[in-house]
Amino acid sequence: MSDTNREYMNTKQAAEYLGFSTQFLEIGRHKGYGPPYLKYPQVVKYRRCDLDEWAAKHLRQHTSEVA
């Protein structure tokens, strides 16, 4: 099983899965625009189903659609 097929992913795995940098996810957590995540002491995890849902909410058909 590849790392991006896991149910729970760390920041690096989630970034690879979505095609973003780890920095994008880290800043998104801080500023509140990133995908939902689980926060444990010293560990951040993302659920694959949450990443898929978050990505689907950002799907656009053309550039004139409001983000």
Q: Does domain 3-57 have CATH number 1.10.10?
A: yes
The pLDDT > 90 percentage for the chain reads 76
Mean pLDDT of 41-54: 96
The enclosing H or E element of 26 equals helix 22-31
Structure confidence at residue 59 (pLDDT)? 82
Domain boundaries in the chain? 3-57
Distance, in Å, from the CA atom of 65 to the CA atom of 49, rounded to the nearest integer, reads 25
Vertex 37: Cα angle to 36 and 43 (nearest 5) = 165
Structure confidence at residue 67 (pLDDT)? 59
- DSSP line for 19-64: T--HHHHHHHHHHT-S---EEETTEEEEEHHHHHHHHHHT--SSTT
